[in-house]
């Protein structure tokens, strides 16, 4: 994309003094690994692509299923049975032909995790189980990478941003052995909830990339859509 097209495409975003030309350049040069392409990963990828992030790693082992469609709005009925990495790439590439999408259909594992994470500027955790979250924390700590965590259940969710040298996921959830043995989340989810939490995760990523203040580093944001309450807790 040439400079004139970029200025036109992102003009409304570049009007923000917190972003401007320098911030847009940072976004174009940035690389983000999104682990999990479900309810949270869908809005995360949509907004990072829309904002002009230059490279996205799409990491998920699943295929699109009918039960996904009420909350995973990146997909359609025509993509049922298609690997989520492929369906997500095709949809996102239609939004931004200038974005590079790297597909990681094997997911994040102890065997490949460090190799994947070290190749990106930051990681966004959109997973549905504690075991993978602890793995992300371990690898990001080892690689010195920031990561943004989000989780949802029924009407509630939370978001936190973790940086090396600051309180991490293990400080919030210290019982690693017990939590890691739990199955993946399979309960009910209020349709708008993952959209909101994922959008907040994307906002945190954009703020980090552009060097803005006011991120959730050292804090966790608690959301309850049933009562429509938002609370921030210091870690």
Residue 180 has pLDDT above 80, yes or no: no
CATH of the domain at 37: 3.40.50.720
Report the pLDDT value the prediction gives residue 230, as an integer from 0 to 100.
97
pLDDT at 3: 63
- 198 near 39, Cβ under 8 Å? yes
Residue-level length of the chain: 235
Question: What's the confidence (pLDDT) of residue 1?
Answer: 60
* pLDDT tens figures, 18-29: 999 999 999 999
- For residues 204-232, average pLDDT: 97
Q: How far apart are CA 192 and CA 170, in angstroms?
A: 28
Tell me how far apart the alpha carbons of residues 138 and 170 are, in angstroms, rounded to a whole number: 10
pLDDT tens-digit readout, 102-151: 999 999 999 999 999 999 999 999 999 999 999 999 999 999 999 999 99
Its pTM stands at: 0.95
Domain ranges, residue 27: 3-234
State how beta strands 147-153 and 156-162 pair: antiparallel
Q: CB-based burial of residue 94 (10 Å sphere; 0-12 exposed, 13-18 middle, 19+ buried)?
A: exposed
DSSP result, 38-97: STTHHHHHHHHHHHT-SEEEEE---B--GGGTTT-TT--GGGTTSBHHHHHHHHHHHH-T
| pLDDT at residue 152, as a whole number | 96
Helix, strand or coil, per DSSP, at residue 146 = coil
How many structural domains are present in the chain? Answer: 1
């Amino acid at each position: 994309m040439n400079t004139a097209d970029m200025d036109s495409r992102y003009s409304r975003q570049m009007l923000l003094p917190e972003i401007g030309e320098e911030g847009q350049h940072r976004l174009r040069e940035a690389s983000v690994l999104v682990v999990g392409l479900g309810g949270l990963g869908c809005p995360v990828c949509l907004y990072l692509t829309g904002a002009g992030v230059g490279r996205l790693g799409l990491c998920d082992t699943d295929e699109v299923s009918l039960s996904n469609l009420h909350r995973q709005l990146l997909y359609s009925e025509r993509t049922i049975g298609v690997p989520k990495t492929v369906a997500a790439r095709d949809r996102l590439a239609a939004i931004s032909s200038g974005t590079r999408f790297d597909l990681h259909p094997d997911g994040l594992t102890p065997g490949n995790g460090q190799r994947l994470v070290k190749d990106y500027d930051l990681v966004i955790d959109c997973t549905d189980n504690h075991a993978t979250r602890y793995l992300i924390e371990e690898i990001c700590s080892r690689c010195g990478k920031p990561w943004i965590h989000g989780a949802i259940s029924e009407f509630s969710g939370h978001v936190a941003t973790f940086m090396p040298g600051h309180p991490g996921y293990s400080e919030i959830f210290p019982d690693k052995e017990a939590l890691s043995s739990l199955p993946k989340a399979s309960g009910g989810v209020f349709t708008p909830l993952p959209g909101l939490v994922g959008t907040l995760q994307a906002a945190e990523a954009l703020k980090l990339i552009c060097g803005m203040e006011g991120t959730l580093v050292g804090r966790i944001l608690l959301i309850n859509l049933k009562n429509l309450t938002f609370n921030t807790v210091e870690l």
